[in-house]
Amino acid sequence: MPELPEVEVVRAGLAPALRGARIDRVDVVEPRSLKRHPGPPEDFIERLEGQVVEAAIRRGKFLWFPLHGTQEALVVHLGMSGQVLLGDESSDFGSLLRIRFDITTAQGDPMVVGFVDQRIFGSMAIDDLIPTRDGAPAGRGSDDSRIPRSVAHIQRDPLDPHFDDRAFSRALRAKNTDIKRALLDQNLMSGIGNIYADEALWGAKLHYLTPTKRLTPARVRELLGEVRAVLQKALAEGGTSFDSQYVNVNGQAGYFAHSLHAYGRQGTPCDRCGGIIRREPFMNRSSHRCPSCQRTPRNR
């Protein structure tokens, strides 16, 4: 599933084209891509055609596009394989195209946006905008302090300037769980998935089963530093692409996979100590760690 860096790369690619753009025509090819929309495809189309997009905003793994003069936004979640691609009037997005938007940019140029999704786990929906609880901007990409109702429950991500380190540390250490489950909990901190959890834990030399209640405030600060470092590096390298299911808005793959230290590196030497990276079952998925650097916690 695309995580924070991949979704942010998509947001940054869409923002220049969609900010101030008018949605002229909407074609819903696959109604299942509207499973989170509170109405039929005809309602989705009617409420979008003729609207002007104010901005492209992201919190965690969610994208949304406020509609000018309304209290609504188009909300996008990429799911496992969703892609939002830019093209022109002659673009053919292939057989996996689920929703197509014909738009006119703020500069008056025609453009086409295609929502492509192989597994149809991603979705689009129109949702109400409500005020953020702290009154601060809701996410990256705008100063707008409104957030879609369906996104309001997730916490800010660690690259958000309004992320509260101390509150996160207190909440994390108060939970009776292991550290990787906590990192994946979008109600504690959003945007982190399996890849970047494994990478941050490798950087902090923490086993994924380390109890959160054993972490000191200093250890949490160190872990947050590793989380931010790996996310920033992944952003700089366009995200992580293992196959064609993650690409940016121009169809290009990211190359952070070449910089991974733990995830997907099973059977290869640890870049830090030379130990052999292991892949171990965890929560119906896998965790990757170095058994020498990331020791199993005692008396867990």
pLDDT tens profile 86-109: 999 899 899 999 999 999 999 999
| Residues 71-86 pLDDT 10s | 999 999 999 889 999 9
Helices (H) and strands (E) in the chain, counts: 6, 11
Structure tokens at 220: 């949490």
φ, ψ at 109 (rounded to 5°): -95, 140
Is residue 61 annotated as a catalytic residue, yes or no?
A: yes
- Averaged pLDDT score across all residues of the chain: 92
* Catalytic residue (choose from 89, 133, 281, 285): 285
The domains of the chain, with CATH numbers, are 4-148 (3.20.190.10), 165-289 (1.10.8.50)
pLDDT band at 252 (very low <50, low <70, confident <90, very high): low
SS3 label, residue 22: strand
- pLDDT of amino acid 185: 96
Residue 237: band (very low, low, confident or very high) from pLDDT cuts 50, 70, 90: confident
**What is the reported pLDDT for 243?**
44
Segment 227-237 shows an average pLDDT of 91
Cα 109 from Cα 218, distance rounded (Å): 52
Whether 3 sits among the annotated catalytic residues: the reply is: yes
CA dist 19 and 11 (Å) reads: 11
Residue type, position 63, single letter: L
* Token pair of 273 as six digits: 């100590």
User: Of 61, 140, 156, 180, which is the active-site residue?
Assistant: 61
pLDDT of residue 238: 74
The pLDDT of residue 63 is above 50:
yes
The residue annotated as part of the active site, out of 3, 6, 8, 199, is 3
Q: What is the pLDDT of residue 100?
A: 98
- 226 is known as an active-site residue: no
> Of the ranges 1-5, 29-33, 243-247, 287-291, which one carries the lowest mean pLDDT score?
243-247
Predicted local confidence at residue 250, as pLDDT: 57
Residue 146 buriedness (CB in 10 A; 0-12 / 13-18 / 19+): buried
User: Residue 75: enclosing H or E segment and its boundaries?
Assistant: strand 72-77
Q: Rounded to a whole number, what is the distance in angstroms from the first to the last CA of the chain?
A: 30
Comparing CA positions, the residue from 100, 7, 123 lying closest to residue 56 is: 7
pLDDT in tens, 158-211: 999 999 999 999 999 999 999 999 999 999 999 999 999 999 999 999 999 999
DSSP H or E segment with residue 98: strand 97-104
- Residue-wise pLDDT tens digits, 170-181: 999 999 999 999
Q: Is 285 a catalytic residue?
A: yes
Alpha carbon distance 66, 114 (integer Å):
18
Residue 200 burial by Cβ neighbours in a 10 Å radius (0-12, 13-18, 19+): buried
pTM metric for this prediction: 0.91
State the CB neighbour count (10 A cutoff) for residue 66: 24
More confident residue, 239 or 198: 198
Of the chain, the percentage scoring pLDDT greater than 70 comes to 93
Quickly list H helices, 53-153: none
Choice among 2, 5, 137, 148 that is catalytic: 2
pLDDT in tens, 6-62: 899 999 999 999 999 999 999 999 999 999 999 999 999 999 999 999 999 999 999
